[in-house]
Amino acid sequence: MRKQVSINESSVGTLARGLDVLGLFASAQPELSQKQISDALGLPMPTVHRLVALLSERGWLTRDPATRRLRLGLEIARLVPALLAGMRLPDVARPQVMRLASEVKETVNVAILEGAEVVYLLSESADRVLTSRVSVGMRLPAHCTALGKCLLAQLPPDVARARLGDQPYPRRTDRTLTTWRRLGTCLATIRETGIAISDEEYEVGLVSIAVPLRWIDGPGTAAINVSLPEGRATPEFRRKLTGALLRAAREIDREMGVR
């Protein structure tokens, strides 16, 4: 009996360390070396090697043949449909997202905040040649995206700052806000207006406008946005998009039972 308990404890410990390894790819960066995993978790290299070999064998991790760095494997993708099936918001929001994409002829997305990144739950692309396209489960940095800033603004300032980690934040373009002083001021404005804008902060030529959604049976807050090329983002069209987004958000909130 004592031997069986020891085996179970060992298995639980291995599982916990394996989950810690997978968690690094959500909280740290998309690709990691075994040395980075070892340093981040304080695990000996032989232990990391065994964990990585097992996770790779099962499809949870894969290795880039050129750089030899590790990233999440396709096995993770198998869990996404089951995950979304347990979430009410994507199903409720989908009709409004499709309607909005058809109305404004631009890409519409719904996302949540996880750590310092936004995670896409829903995306509907417009029928255009030049349009932004994302996939469900894709992650982008929060500090330089409209969705991310919208979601960060719903948090207390000290919590939002802790989520982002050390500054300067990664610079994507010349317009990226890389310090808390500038970003914190931006988030305060978003809290007042309820509207977040990324004006070529994530990618040159890309504009995005986002507003919050209340998700009472989920993590509390999600956000909906419209992304479009800068050339189509005229002041008049931005006003139209903002109004359409706010109407769609109110309708989704109503259908979610939020008052």
Q: What total number of domains does the chain contain?
A: 2
Same structural domain for residues 179 and 84?
A: yes
Please tell me which of 94-103, 190-199, 210-219 the model is most confident about, judged by mean pLDDT.
190-199
Same domain assignment for residues 107 and 69: no
Burial 145-177 (b: 16+ CB within 10 A, else e): bbbbbbbbbbbeeeebbebbeeeebeebeeebb
The CATH number covering residue 38 comes to 1.10.10.10
Range of the structural domain that residue 88 is part of:
79-256
Cα 94 to chain centroid distance, Å, stands at 18
**Pair 156, 69 in one domain:** no
Average pLDDT for residues 34-40, to the nearest whole number?
Answer: 91
**Model confidence over 71-105: pLDDT tens digits?**
888 787 677 655 555 457 778 889 999 999 999 99
pLDDT in tens, 128-142: 545 566 777 788 999
DSSP annotation of 230 reads G
* Predicted local confidence at residue 142, as pLDDT: 96
Q: Which of 73, 99, 120 is the C-terminal boundary of a domain?
A: 73
Per-residue pLDDT tens for 109-122?
999 998 899 989 88
Q: pLDDT higher for 171 or 87?
A: 171
Q: Same domain, yes or no, for 107 and 191?
A: yes
| 216 or 222: which leads in pLDDT | 222
Q: How far apart are CA 51 and CA 17, in angstroms?
A: 8
For residue 63, pLDDT over 60 is answered with: yes
